[in-house]
Structure 1
Amino acid sequence: MSQYQTFTAEQAVAYAKEHSGLVDPSELVRAEEIGDGNLNLVFKIYDTQNVSRIIVKQALPYVRCVGESWPLTLDRARLEAQTLIEHYQHCPEHTVKVIHYDPEQYVIVMEDLSDHQIWRSGLIAGLHYPQAAQQLGEYLATVLFYSSDFYLHPHRKKELVAQFMNPQMCEITEDLFFNDPYMEHERNNYPAAIEKAVHALRDNSDLKVAVAELKQRFFSSPQALLHGDIHSGSIFVKSGSLKVIDAEFGFFGPMGFDLGCAIGNLLLNYCGAEGLFDKPTAQQAKAQRLGDIETLWSTFTERFSVLVKHHGSDQALCVDGYVSLFLRNIWRDTLGFAGTELIRRSMGLSHVADLDTISDEAQRHASLCRAIHLGRELILHTDVITDGDSLSAFVRRAF
């Protein structure tokens, strides 16, 4: 099987038998397609005891949720596999394991995480995983440090930047984060009831200038190898464990982008809490999300600083005082990118279940407006929010 062809369930089973690495691959007998409908085919492969053992993921040559009218590079499968392999090398405890990658069929075989739950699903169900924010902070600090100028020789860094060039997937990000929401565009998707909030956003010239600055930073700051789409839907959790998946948007970019996406999604859950839960549960969930954000950021800064101190290789960058300055700049980027994530998930092409599954229409619309408002305020006030604690206070004042 050399020429690219889209897998059927039967072909996925046969492929898993060949590349699973299991002692007895003949026990693999059945596949279930579990893709989320956006970009790829994803199969769970079950054994004779009906236990899911392996995941087979195949890239499609178009955006699945739109159709063949939106073609998409198959090379994203290579970039996803290589990003995950690179991240696993430095942080195996929090990165899904890639078992096999096929550059002809654009297939990744990876470990099954059926004993985990998608973090977003847990949050929407009102579950709290108290270790998750700390583990995510550790993951981000580790993988971003080891792919940064603090650690890599400049020659190796430049080689990796070239290896992980991902122009087509980055273009999707550029459009969905920095272009579409701020203009009338057919990809935008929001209810007519929030039109007033949308127009106010698009009429804000200061906001557009700030978003332009964020877009320029996204274009031109290859600080580290990013996951590129890190959100609560691309993270699996269980008690004591967190694993990151879905890195097909991986590229070298500004560290604050990954941090901002992660924090932005926690804030989306915050914005939807009053529509998802009764009042006491909503208050508890909102406090937990702010606590998660504080923990994520403090863990990231502490871990990153320790790594620079003990493993940094560039003497100029490791000079006393610079890492603190560097992290202050990363925090400002983080706030801005978190704001763009809140906005694009509320009125752009790709929404989140934290808001869309709110059954009461008025509550859903109010939650969308909260997310748009908070996103705007974060982008415009990056200089006055100094850390996780002050972000929590800022959010509480806003709502």
Structure 2
Amino acid sequence: MWILEEGQILPYLRSHYPVFDQSGPVDIQCIGALEGEEKPREPDEGGLINYIFRVSNGKQSVIVKQGRSASRKNDKIVLPIWRNRQEYETLRLRHAIVPQYTPETYYVDWENAIFLMEDVSDLAQVRKLLCSGVMLPRLAEQVGEFVAASTFYCSEFYLEADLFRRLSARFRNSDMRSIMEDWVFLRDAPYLTHNGNPVLKQLIDRDESIRVCCYELRHKFMTRGEALIHGDLHTSNVFADKERLKVIDMEYTFAGPLCYDIGYFAASLLTQYCTACFRPFPSEGARRTFLSYLLSSLLELYHSFVEHFTEFWREDAKPIYQRSGGFCEHLARGFLPDVLGFAAVPCFPQITTSLTPEFAQLDGKARGQAHELCLVLSRYLLLERERWDTMEDAVQAIGAVTQIYLDCLE
């Protein structure tokens, strides 16, 4: 296997992708830190696992991505290199379904676990934008449409049963999904330093109600293979501006619950909301505006997903489901508890086992208060997820509980 390093990029492209013009100056940037480097040479800290390079000649720009068995940032993480092939294949599949939201792939090298894809750096990472207080008016609607389309058209509601079974088997992805099974639902990630909140970690670990609900949702995650899902859809894996959006990093894909991706993305918005309550803003009015935007985004995200999913069903569901009467509406009525549950559970490991950028930008007391609010809200959503009839009710409850918590701090 060819281990791709910066000095080998141009010879590799000359041999494998000659359409990339090297007649003039070419700039190569390593995305993230290589082993032994304290800081990345290019300001993008996303990703623990893969080796990624941006190569540009001023007119063309491509991403070169290699998957190796050893992680880029932690040698305790050992993974199969075939995950790179699965990511390439799912990128191609989703680009065929939602090309407006999925980067194009240009070339794949099975032997060396390398593929080339569209560079989306003309857009910005959504997590960084939100951490800076930037509001993206189309974010929630676009993510909802992406998830609705990429799940519906990779489900048995659209595909013939045999094809869906073969697709599910093709993307079984046991090694990658087990990371999520353990980290998201059990908060078990031995390769991560436990730099979370130790006091709240004890509270969460001892809370039987949280434990039971996490195991219940983990069981759904492991056994409910309803559609091909992204599997790691958080705000670092979405790039956008005020009009356009692209989703990347699809190596965790497998056949899972319909509502998992929407819930997981909602968790990113929820942690943004909790930290925005305590980080500096130009004024309290600006803070209130941003918090209102995040709550509205949670609402719009859910409705966009449900409405687009229903639209795709109406237009393209198999005849057997077109004749099913109100089954689509019946199915959609069950989405809300799963979305809320899958939004709540990923918040717990962000409190206990890892320091995500939202919380990392806070210091001392503010971080502790944001962690506390995140625990209060995520536990509330998790335990009460069956009680609300509408997403409006749930979002209103988030605002009300937040105000109670803030009043207690005064």
Residue pair 1:76, 1:248 contacting (<8 A) in 2 also: yes
Residue pair 2:131, 2:272 contacting (<8 A) in 1 also: yes
Question: Shift in Å at residue 125 of structure 1?
Answer: 1.0
SS at match of 1:71: coil
Does 1:295 pair with 2:300?
yes
SS at match of 1:89: helix
1:352 to 351, 356, 360: 356
Pair 186,100 (structure 1): closer, same or farther in 2 beyond 3 Å: closer
SS at match of 1:315: helix
Does 1:43 pair with 2:53?
yes
Question: Shift in Å at residue 317 of structure 1?
Answer: 6.8
Alignment of 1:302-313 (within 5 A): 302-313=307-318
* Residue-pair matches, total: 387
Match of 1:29 in 2: 26
Match of 2:131 in 1: 124
Question: Shift in Å at residue 185 of structure 1?
Answer: 6.3
Residue pair 2:125, 2:238 contacting (<8 A) in 1 also: yes
Residue pair 1:225, 1:253 contacting (<8 A) in 2 also: yes
1:272 to 254, 272, 275: 275
Pair 80,387 (structure 1): closer, same or farther in 2 beyond 3 Å: farther
> Within 2, Cα distance between the matches of 1:243 and 1:129?
13
What is the CA deviation profile of residues 67-121 of structure 1, one whole-angstrom value per residue up to 9, with x for unaligned ones? Answer: 2x33111111111111111111110000111111211111120011121000111
Pair 83,186 (structure 1): closer, same or farther in 2 beyond 3 Å: closer
Does 1:107 pair with 2:118?
no
> Within 2, Cα distance between the matches of 1:317 and 1:330?
20
Alignment of 1:156-235 (within 5 A): 156-180=163-187, 187=192, 189-191=194-196, 194-235=197-238
> Within 1, Cα distance between the matches of 2:202 and 2:227?
35
SS at match of 2:285: helix
Match of 1:56 in 2: 64
SS at match of 1:65: coil
Question: Shift in Å at residue 42 of structure 1?
Answer: 0.9
Does 1:81 pair with 2:88?
yes
- Structure 2 counterpart of 1:155, which letter? D
Question: Shift in Å at residue 24 of structure 1?
Answer: 3.4
SS at match of 1:99: strand
> Within 1, Cα distance between the matches of 2:80 and 2:290?
39
> Within 2, Cα distance between the matches of 1:261 and 1:271?
16
Match of 1:8 in 2: 5
Pair 13,84 (structure 1): closer, same or farther in 2 beyond 3 Å: same
Match of 1:386 in 2: 389
Pair 254,275 (structure 1): closer, same or farther in 2 beyond 3 Å: same
SS at match of 2:26: strand
SS at match of 1:31: strand
- Structure 1 counterpart of 2:277, which letter? E
Structure 2: segments with no counterpart, 5+ residues: 33-45, 403-410
Pair 30,369 (structure 1): closer, same or farther in 2 beyond 3 Å: same
Residue pair 1:146, 1:152 contacting (<8 A) in 2 also: yes
Pair 314,345 (structure 1): closer, same or farther in 2 beyond 3 Å: farther
Residue pair 1:151, 1:313 contacting (<8 A) in 2 also: yes
What is the TM-score of this pair, normalised by structure 1? 0.91
Percent identity between the aligned chains? 26
SS at match of 1:255: coil
- Structure 2 counterpart of 1:146, which letter? Y
What is the CA deviation profile of residues 244-287 of structure 1, one whole-angstrom value per residue up to 9, with x for unaligned ones? Answer: 00001011101211111110001110011033332332222111
Residue pair 2:187, 2:348 contacting (<8 A) in 1 also: no
Alignment RMSD (CA, Å): 2.0
Pair 138,20 (structure 1): closer, same or farther in 2 beyond 3 Å: farther
Pair 37,319 (structure 1): closer, same or farther in 2 beyond 3 Å: closer
Structure 1: segments with no counterpart, 5+ residues: none
Pair 117,131 (structure 1): closer, same or farther in 2 beyond 3 Å: same
What is the TM-score of this pair, normalised by structure 2? 0.89
Question: Shift in Å at residue 186 of structure 1?
Answer: 7.5
> Within 2, Cα distance between the matches of 1:280 and 1:52?
43
Structure 1 range deviating more: 279-288 or 255-264:
279-288
> Within 1, Cα distance between the matches of 2:71 and 2:382?
29
- Structure 1 counterpart of 2:326, which letter? G
Match of 2:326 in 1: 321
SS at match of 2:27: strand
Does 1:370 pair with 2:367?
no
Does 1:71 pair with 2:86?
no
Match of 1:152 in 2: 159
SS at match of 2:308: helix
Residue pair 1:124, 1:276 contacting (<8 A) in 2 also: no
Residue pair 2:269, 2:294 contacting (<8 A) in 1 also: yes
Residue pair 1:164, 1:250 contacting (<8 A) in 2 also: yes
Question: Shift in Å at residue 370 of structure 1?
Answer: 1.6
SS at match of 2:329: helix
Residue pair 1:180, 1:187 contacting (<8 A) in 2 also: no
